[in-house]
Amino acid sequence: MQDLTLPALVTQGFTPPLSLAEFKLAAFDMDSTLITIECIDEIADAAGRKAEVAAITEAAMRGEITDFKDSLRRRLALLQGVPATALDGVLNDRLRFNPGARELCAALKAAGLKLVLVSGGFTFFTRYVAAQLGMDYVRSNELEIVDDALTGRLIPQPWGEICDGAEKRRMLQECCDKIGCTPKQAIAVGDGANDLLMMGEAGLSVAFHAKPKVREQAMVAINSGGLEQLLQILR
């Protein structure tokens, strides 16, 4: 929910505008950043456990639960037995892009930046979002499905099992290495506490409709309106 008492766009630690040519890469969180929902909360709705799961999600995003991996495992356990078809329902009926997401990503790609989607959410959704927005690199968690139902667990991947804040930072660094730039030539956009490590590594950190802890530490805070407002300070 937007806090309408806050200015729409706040900058700190630099004098805008910045030169877009200085940046080579932009990394984005997905849930509540590029899209309007927290996918895990919407999956939980199919199990009648949305309130319980959403409460853990909110506490984790605010930084009140500091171990993201533990919070995710707790939420996943509540999804055990949910039919896999619930994922299709969330994707088709509930997933919507935040205002300005398409415009911002298109503008950054047109300027030659590589785009990274790095999410504590799930590959079922990141594949779709990445394809829609033209992402170059993606990292997220893989839900385990057995007999057409969620098991409440994740499938380990070559890089690990859970994409948490530390993994988001590693992914940012890894992608910068791949394209031959430094993290200071990267933009990182997020809304929750598990985005802070990635945002702290980047040359430009952007909080979008974010939790107070994230707004306070970001160089740019977009508190209302769309993501395209970032282009006001990048020329």
Known catalytic residue: 195? no
Please state, in angstroms and rounded to a whole number, the distance separating the CA atoms of residues 38 and 31: 5
Whether 29 is catalytic: yes
Catalytic residue, chosen from 3, 31, 41, 136, is: 31
**Which of these is catalytic: 3, 29, 67, 195?**
29
Please state, in angstroms and rounded to a whole number, the distance separating the CA atoms of residues 37 and 46: 15
| CB proximity list for 37: less than 8 A, separation 6 or greater | 31, 90, 94, 95, 96
Sheet holding 220-222, edge to edge: 9-11, 220-222, 204-208, 186-190, 25-28, 114-122, 137-141
Would you name the residues annotated as active-site residues? 29, 31
